[in-house]
Amino acid sequence: MHVRGTVAGEVDVRSVSTSYGESDLAEVPLRLAEEGDEPTDAGDRPPTLGDGGTATVADGRETTTVTLWNKWTESAELLEPGMELLVTNAKEEEYQGETQYATTGDSYVVVEPSFLVSVTSIRNWVECPRLYYLNKLSGVPLNYPVVKGTLVHEVFGDLLRGRDLEESIEARVEERGLELGLLGETPEAVADDVRENATAIEGWLDQGRLTEADSWRSEQLLISETFGIRGRADAIRRGAPVELKTGKNLKKEPRFKDKVQAACYALLLEEHGGDVDTGTLLYTKNSVLDRNEETGDLTPAKDFTMGDGLLKFVVRLRNELAATEVKGDVPTGYEGSAKCEYCFEQDACMVVSGRLDQESKAGQIGQALPDEELEYFERFYRAIEEERREVHREYAKLWEQSAEERADDDRALIDLEFVEKRPLDEGRWELRARRTGGATSKLREGDLVLASDGHPVRGDAELARIERLDDEVVLTADEPVEVTRLDVYPSELTTDRLLVALHDALLKGDERRKDVLFGRAPPEFEDVDETFIDNNDRQNQAVTKAVGANDCALIHGPPGTGKTYTIARAVRAMVERGERVLLSAFTNRAVDNALEAVLEQLDGAIDDERVVRVGSESGVRADMQPYRLERAGDPDERVAELQNAQVVAATTATCGSRVMKEQAFDVALVDEAAQLTEPGTHAAINLADRFVLVGDHEQLPPVVRAENDLTESLFERLVERHPEAGVMLDRQYRMNQRIQFFSSTEFYDGQLRPAAPEVAARTLDDLEGVSRDALPDSVRNPVSFVDVEGDRSRYTDSREAARITELVEAYEAAGLDRSEIGVIAPFRAQVSEISKHVPDDVAVDTVDRFQGSSQEVIIVSFTATGSLEGPIFEDYRRINVALTRPKRALVLVGDSRALRTDPVYERMLEWARR
């Protein structure tokens, strides 16, 4: 029986005498999880307690005592009230009329099981908890051993999938052309190096194949909901894990930390029904060594027996890590037994400890950062870790939510009909499935997803890339899965990069930059005596500031005010001054938009080859593909392409990649800066001497899961701190004057004005073949309100949807093309509801997907009836975005009685009905 619940009080740890001698025990008061809080695995349900049995009832749940015996007391010592605890295979005991539980010889004790620790983290932790922390802060750098290790792993996977050795080496080395170029390596030398390692693998595989019973699977993504561990095993042979190490090991036994890693996979496999009693470590370098020079055991493959004791030890290690993270503690190194004098990272460790003024076993060197910087670091470290917890909750939803719930939440595509699996040339697979029903989802072409045969955790699942997504789904994956379901794969990559950006900004950051960021010095500007834009004063001022900034400039651009145009003009001016420019933004779409405008501005001012777009093939828009930096190929050529580029465009996330982190720029221009968290902004501006942030803090805030310091952008903070560094663009080129009015008064102190009379006066009549006279009276004006008494559902409104369908038809009848109409709704459910009724070429979506774009006509569905609990669009900034998308006509559809209960919406109603 599994017992799961929340620690409800202090844990009592003590020793007692038993018939076996002295034993340790810990008594944990536990508030049991209710049935239904738990995954619905039959048989493993939490116990239902009978009437009489239990001691106290808190929060309507039963509190009981769970006794953890012997070594598990180590995990018990980590517990604090409020933490989650899971005990597997517990036994039930009656004590003074109360039902209690205790561990048995088969039990595992898991602290915070929903904190999903990666196998790599556990491996780092066993080496040294402090090392684990340092790795988190500084990320994986671009260096040859790392790249070589990746290559050898890739070739190993290829060999297992039956690819020819030479073909694999050649292809894999070619794929990493750019990285190898940056490292100054030649393909020949790298191929030799990889070949040496791979030969060991091949030889060993050939031996292995002698046995009939050998069954292999290359890489497998495994997630354990019981142990709270996830990872990707290099290979599974006859159900047991095989781990590849590119180093040497001359001992008979695998290294302890490697065993720990293999044991993690064993736990994962056992949860998936396996029974694992051995593990294999393959030290590829061993086979290269010269027998005459080295003594010891040169066999590359080392098997070991996976005892129960090791598996339990690994779970305790994991518990240590999870408890530390959940409490928000920083490891000191004293938790483990590693010796600092043997550690390669000792110096780095001391520097970080010294600068962040942290206790550490290695000691400290150097001077601590100023207090405000330390406070900033700690605040954001905590915020990022909270964000990570939210990502972990996303993982937990993979098993906590039913397939239908996930589909409704837009996190999965379910009920696919498997069509076929087809082997591809490189040993990979193409998987095809048909969509049944018209389900929409967040998933997009190019996304990495969990493809499964029914359940992403309990079934057969593998990471796959969506190649095509229409009526049919086409995926590529390393292993064939009979796919019937796709799930959004939560990723910690973004969180990891935020942490590294924070670390780099504070610990490697320039002092002058930090003086400005922390308000210790005002930003400085050079005089620039040149007119860049002659028909718009503020735009001209903005470019002047951007060009003349020694530190930073801030361009505040309300909707349609020519932000992109201004950025492009500034980039041209910088390029003409011979500067190297990084062009960045939060989304790929914004990067491509800005780049398009820059190319238009540059118009031959520099060679096309000197403009480079860094991003994945699926992320970059089709018309920008010619500028996309190809990663594969000849290292020298690839690296020259990047180094010679004078303008490099990439998302802020990509700016945190290993390749981009090696680049340096004179200036970084960041669009959509108000949508970026502070560390997210650092990722881009860390790479440049000066920076220009462009955005609008009255539109969408940063996209984060947790509610904390990450919700305010660096842009917004700096606009407040250094108003003198900012310029607000005030002329808009988009909206009819009536449309613009509400947003201008409500959000921009009435400062926003039409840039020209033609803009102010634009109506649908200007469009060819469109006549407003053909429209119903109620929507003839540029702004109108259509009152619909709602249907009282929470997230949908069928009456509004029906009315919107009629409106779309009316616009069409008046001569408007359907693609000129956009419909915005606050909830995904209402978006689906409306999409069912209106034709496909009408864009229907939530506000977030409309930011940065515009349409001739926008219809907003408010989806509220009766009373409002708060702003419908969560945040007034969202309504600002919705109302400023149209150029010529805006129709608000909603229940006026509900809207009137909120002062902002009430003013909006007055305006719309005027």
Ligand X SMILES: Nc1ncnc2c1ncn2[C@@H]1O[C@H](COP(=O)(O)OP(=O)(O)OP(=O)(O)O)[C@@H](O)[C@H]1O
Q: In what order do the strands lie in the sheet with 688-695?
A: 611-613, 647-651, 581-585, 665-671, 688-695, 552-556, 726-728
Position among 123, 318, 563, 697 found at the interface with ligand X (CB under 6 A): 563
**C-beta of 589 vs 772, nearer to ligand X:** 589
541 binds ligand X (CB under 6 A): no
**C-beta of 585 vs 688, nearer to ligand X:** 585
588 binds ligand X (CB under 6 A): no
- Nearest-approach distance from CB 285 to ligand X, in angstroms: 53
- CA 691, CA 704: separation in Å to the nearest integer? 23
Helices (H), 455-509: 493-503
- Nearest-approach distance from CB 853 to ligand X, in angstroms: 7
129 binds ligand X (CB under 6 A): no
- Nearest-approach distance from CB 731 to ligand X, in angstroms: 8
- Only one of the segments 427-435, 563-571, 773-781, 873-881 lies at the binding site for ligand X (rule: CB under 6 A); that segment is 563-571
Q: Give 802-809 contacts, CB < 8 A, sequence gap 24+.
A: 802/837, 803/893, 804/834, 804/837, 804/838, 804/859, 804/861, 804/893, 805/834, 805/837, 805/838, 807/779, 807/859, 807/891, 807/893, 808/838, 808/839, 808/842, 808/859
**C-beta of 523 vs 559, nearer to ligand X:** 559
Q: Crossing angle of helices 737-747/876-883, nearest 10°?
A: 160
Position among 279, 490, 559, 695 found at the interface with ligand X (CB under 6 A): 559
**C-beta of 22 vs 749, nearer to ligand X:** 749
- CA 225, CA 37: separation in Å to the nearest integer? 13
Report the run of H or E that residue 463 belongs to, with start and end. Answer: strand 461-469
> For 630, which DSSP code?
P
535 binds ligand X (CB under 6 A): yes
- Nearest-approach distance from CB 830 to ligand X, in angstroms: 24
- Nearest-approach distance from CB 858 to ligand X, in angstroms: 13
Query: Amino acid letter at 869?
Result: E
**C-beta of 316 vs 563, nearer to ligand X:** 563
- Only one of the segments 354-362, 558-566, 760-768, 790-798 lies at the binding site for ligand X (rule: CB under 6 A); that segment is 558-566
- CA 624, CA 591: separation in Å to the nearest integer? 10
Per-residue tokens: 130:
């402090």
List, in sequence order, every residue forming a beta bridge with 91; answer none if it has no partner.
102
> For 506, which DSSP code?
I
- Only one of the segments 412-420, 485-493, 560-568, 813-821 lies at the binding site for ligand X (rule: CB under 6 A); that segment is 560-568
**C-beta of 199 vs 854, nearer to ligand X:** 854
**C-beta of 562 vs 656, nearer to ligand X:** 562
- CA 877, CA 701: separation in Å to the nearest integer? 8
702 binds ligand X (CB under 6 A): no
Dihedral of alpha carbons 586, 591, 597, 602, sign: positive
- Nearest-approach distance from CB 494 to ligand X, in angstroms: 23
Position among 5, 187, 557, 754 found at the interface with ligand X (CB under 6 A): 557
**C-beta of 534 vs 869, nearer to ligand X:** 534
CB atoms within 10 A of CB 615: 22
- Nearest-approach distance from CB 592 to ligand X, in angstroms: 13
Q: How many residues does the chain have?
A: 914
> For 762, which DSSP code?
-
Binding residues for ligand X restricted to 156-175, rule: CB under 6 A: none
Q: Crossing angle of helices 903-913/876-883, nearest 10°?
A: 20
Contact between 289 and 317 (Cβ < 8 Å) = no
Biggest CA–CA distance in the chain, Å, is 96
- Nearest-approach distance from CB 716 to ligand X, in angstroms: 16
- Nearest-approach distance from CB 760 to ligand X, in angstroms: 14
Q: How far apart are the first and last CA of the chain?
A: 67
- Nearest-approach distance from CB 535 to ligand X, in angstroms: 5
- Only one of the segments 315-323, 432-440, 450-458, 562-570 lies at the binding site for ligand X (rule: CB under 6 A); that segment is 562-570
Residue whose beta carbon is closest to ligand X? 562
- Tokens 């935020």 -> residue: 498
Position among 536, 855, 863, 865 found at the interface with ligand X (CB under 6 A): 536
- Tokens 């359907």 -> residue: 818
**C-beta of 29 vs 560, nearer to ligand X:** 560
- CA 871, CA 195: separation in Å to the nearest integer? 61
Contact between 77 and 11 (Cβ < 8 Å) = yes
Contact between 863 and 804 (Cβ < 8 Å) = no
- Only one of the segments 302-310, 384-392, 461-469, 559-567 lies at the binding site for ligand X (rule: CB under 6 A); that segment is 559-567
304 binds ligand X (CB under 6 A): no
Q: How far is CA 450 from the centre of its chain?
A: 15
485 binds ligand X (CB under 6 A): no
- Only one of the segments 89-97, 324-332, 368-376, 532-540 lies at the binding site for ligand X (rule: CB under 6 A); that segment is 532-540
Contact between 31 and 59 (Cβ < 8 Å) = yes
**C-beta of 242 vs 755, nearer to ligand X:** 755
- Nearest-approach distance from CB 798 to ligand X, in angstroms: 32
- The count of residues interacting with ligand X (CB under 6 A) is 14
- Tokens 């909120």 -> residue: 902
- CA 413, CA 674: separation in Å to the nearest integer? 32
Position among 565, 742, 827, 850 found at the interface with ligand X (CB under 6 A): 565
Nearest to 854 by CA among 598, 651, 564: 564
Using alpha carbons, list the distances in angstroms from residue 454 to 16, 398, 772, 835.
48, 12, 52, 27
- CA 880, CA 602: separation in Å to the nearest integer? 33
- CA 232, CA 234: separation in Å to the nearest integer? 6
**C-beta of 254 vs 557, nearer to ligand X:** 557
Q: What are phi and psi of 684, to 5 degrees?
A: -85, -50
**C-beta of 152 vs 881, nearer to ligand X:** 881
**C-beta of 539 vs 863, nearer to ligand X:** 539
- Nearest-approach distance from CB 559 to ligand X, in angstroms: 4
Query: Amino acid letter at 295?
Result: T
- Only one of the segments 116-124, 260-268, 367-375, 534-542 lies at the binding site for ligand X (rule: CB under 6 A); that segment is 534-542
**C-beta of 399 vs 532, nearer to ligand X:** 532
- Nearest-approach distance from CB 565 to ligand X, in angstroms: 4
Position among 46, 254, 560, 726 found at the interface with ligand X (CB under 6 A): 560
**C-beta of 319 vs 880, nearer to ligand X:** 880
Dihedral of alpha carbons 796, 473, 176, 606, sign: negative
- Nearest-approach distance from CB 556 to ligand X, in angstroms: 11
**C-beta of 470 vs 603, nearer to ligand X:** 603
Contact between 734 and 854 (Cβ < 8 Å) = yes
DSSP states of 37-63 as a string?
A: SS---TT-PPPPP-SS--SEEETTEEE
**C-beta of 556 vs 613, nearer to ligand X:** 556
Per-residue tokens: 240:
């047991």
Position among 67, 99, 561, 651 found at the interface with ligand X (CB under 6 A): 561
Binding residues for ligand X restricted to 707-766, rule: CB under 6 A: 733
**C-beta of 139 vs 559, nearer to ligand X:** 559
Q: Binding mask 849-888 vs ligand X (x if CB under 6 A, - otherwise)?
A: ---x------------------------------------
Position among 157, 562, 679, 822 found at the interface with ligand X (CB under 6 A): 562
539 binds ligand X (CB under 6 A): yes
Position among 494, 564, 663, 713 found at the interface with ligand X (CB under 6 A): 564
Contact between 868 and 897 (Cβ < 8 Å) = no
Name the residues that contact ligand X, by CB under 6 A: 533, 535-536, 539, 557, 559-565, 733, 852
